[in-house]
């Protein structure tokens, strides 16, 4: 079974530039998450999708971050304009179903963003 695919693996940009990350979840997984992990900390949720609808984006800095999940499969996360404090690893995860307690979340390798 193929895992969660993310690209690119690494990205270095200057502050105020824009950047986009892509995620392809495990086939058939209805729920998709984007997490931000700052060095030395646990991941923090940015946005959660159920199919192509947003379930939770309460911690997404909407003035600069946006995300979409067209057709309920792939997803893109965009930052525009980037700030120095956005330097982090951006992790995408997916799970089969939203409402079942035995559903595991599976994570991709992440995209390491450095803003200089």
Partner 1 sequence: KQEVTQIPAALSVPEGENLVLNCSFTDSAIYNLQWFRQDPGKGLTSLLLIQSSQREQTSGRLNASLDKSSGRSTLYIAASQPGDSATYLCAVRGNYGQNFVFGPGTRLSVLP
Least Å distance, CB 81 to partner 1, is 26
Nearer to partner 1, 35 or 65 (CB): 35
d(CA 47, CA 33): 6
Residues that bind partner 1 (CB under 8 A): 4, 6, 33, 35, 40-45, 48, 55-56, 91, 93, 98-99, 101-110, 112
Residue with tokens 């990205």: 11
Nearer to partner 1, 17 or 26 (CB): 26
Nearer to partner 1, 18 or 59 (CB): 59
Nearer to partner 1, 78 or 112 (CB): 112
d(CA 82, CA 65): 9
Least Å distance, CB 47 to partner 1, is 9
Strand partners for 6: 23
Q: 52: Cβ–Cβ under 8 A, 6 or more apart, which residues?
A: 69, 70, 71, 72
Lookup: tokens for 47: 């946005």
């Amino acid at each position: 079974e193929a895992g969660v695919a993310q690209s690119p693996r690494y990205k270095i940009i200057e502050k105020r530039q824009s950047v986009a990350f892509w995620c392809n979840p495990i086939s058939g997984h209805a729920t998709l998450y984007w997490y931000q992990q700052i060095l030395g900390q646990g991941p923090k949720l940015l946005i959660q999708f159920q199919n192509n609808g947003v379930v939770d984006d309460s911690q997404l800095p909407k003035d600069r971050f946006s995300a979409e999940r067209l057709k309920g499969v792939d997803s893109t996360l965009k930052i525009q304009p980037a700030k120095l404090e956005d330097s982090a690893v951006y992790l995408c995860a997916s799970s089969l179903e939203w409402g079942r307690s035995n559903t595991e979340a599976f994570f991709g390798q992440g995209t390491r963003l450095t803003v200089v």
